[in-house]
Amino acid sequence: MKINLDKAINLLKKGELVIFPTETVYGLGGNANNEKTIRKIYQLKKRPIINPLICHFKNINEIEKNFILNDYAYDLATKFCPGPLTLILEKKESSKVSPRASNNKKFVACRIPNHSIAQALLNEINFPIAAPSANLSSKLSPTKISHISNILLKNAYFIDGGKSLYGLESTVVKIDGNNAKILRLGSITYEQIKKIIPNTIINNFHTELISPGQLIKHYSPNKPIRINVDYVDENEALLNFGINNLKSKIIELNLSINSDLEEASRNFYDYLHIIDKSECKKIAIAPIPNNDLGKTLNDRLIRASSIK
């Protein structure tokens, strides 16, 4: 692992791209201060330039050097960082973060990953890492190296860190005064954020893109999906949840037989990747409760099932 890290660090310093694990999903990362590197990320992922990137920092002090944080942002960072929290913060004029990372807007998505490999990389470089998920644009996020497209693997150095801990992306929050807006539901729930900032709303279909994860069509398998089903067609695979009478003649995977939303979240992308590669024509998804992490799972499914 030390040899892999050394090579990855040297490549990052040269402006090249590295695929690395975080506690949420795998990221495709490069120097956030380097405009050419940012362009490479967008081009390789085939990502719309209007869709901002998350910048990863080693600690809160590094974020403070580049961005403005108010008391409520500090409160969230104290509770959830390092971890699956992304804050949308106003950039200081002195910041070297490339405007390309945020579609030339003054607000940038910032997070501190809680993964030993991600931290090992960040602690050996003097710049943040801009890193969206290591997938082709609009496709399923990867929680294992085996989920990642060969197009990406052939064009970026990769580090295999096993399966991601959470299995869902970070929660993206923007603070406005004493209000919090969740711009992307994620591994930290609305209910958890609301305990810290009571004036919290979910605003994840905002018209202005200042956060990743706001596009209507996103997180999608290659095969069409049908959500909240009460029956399964003969040509459909089944992504199930809990105990019910739903059955598939092709393949069935249950996110959590015990209806545990944390277990379901850990299995979510992995099971979708498996089913997407099966012989099915379509994918049927069982109903998932719309509370806690269920809100995040349903958000992903709504976007995945969008025809736009």
243 and 197, same structural domain? no
191 and 248, same structural domain? no
pLDDT at 218: 77
| 210 domain-assigned | no
155 and 32, same structural domain? yes
- Tokens 């958890």 sit at which residue? 192
| 187 domain-assigned | yes
Domain count, the chain: 2
What string of DSSP letters covers 238-257? EEE-SS-S---SS-EEES-T
Q: How far apart are CA 43 and CA 37, in angstroms?
A: 10
Is the entire prediction scored with pTM above 0.85?
yes
| 94 domain-assigned | yes
Mean pLDDT, the chain, integer = 94
Residue 194: count other Cβ atoms within 10 Å of its Cβ: 15
Q: How far apart are CA 305 and CA 273, in angstroms?
A: 15
Domain span at residue 230?
225-304
Q: How far apart are CA 307 and CA 305, in angstroms?
A: 6
100 alpha-carbon distance from chain centroid? 19
**pLDDT tens digits for the chain (308 residues)?**
456 899 999 999 999 999 999 999 999 999 999 999 999 999 999 999 999 999 999 999 999 999 999 999 999 999 999 999 999 999 999 999 999 999 889 999 999 999 999 999 999 999 999 999 999 999 999 999 999 999 999 999 999 999 999 999 999 999 999 999 999 999 999 999 999 999 999 987 655 667 676 666 678 999 999 999 999 999 999 999 999 999 999 999 999 999 999 999 999 999 999 999 999 999 999 999 999 999 999 999 999 998 65
pLDDT at 1: 47
CATH at residue 286 = 3.40.50.11030
199 alpha-carbon distance from chain centroid? 24
174 and 295, same structural domain? no
19 and 134, same structural domain? yes
177 and 45, same structural domain? yes
pLDDT at 219: 87
| 163 domain-assigned | yes
Give the tens place of pLDDT for each residue, 263-293.
999 999 999 999 999 999 999 999 999 999 9
Specify whether the CB–CB gap between 187 and 133 falls below 8 A.
no
| 120 domain-assigned | yes
Bond from prior residue into 198 cis (ω within 30 degrees of 0): no
229 and 191, same structural domain? no
Which amino acid type is present at position 219?
Y
Residue 51 half-sphere exposure, CB side, CA atoms within 13 Å? 21
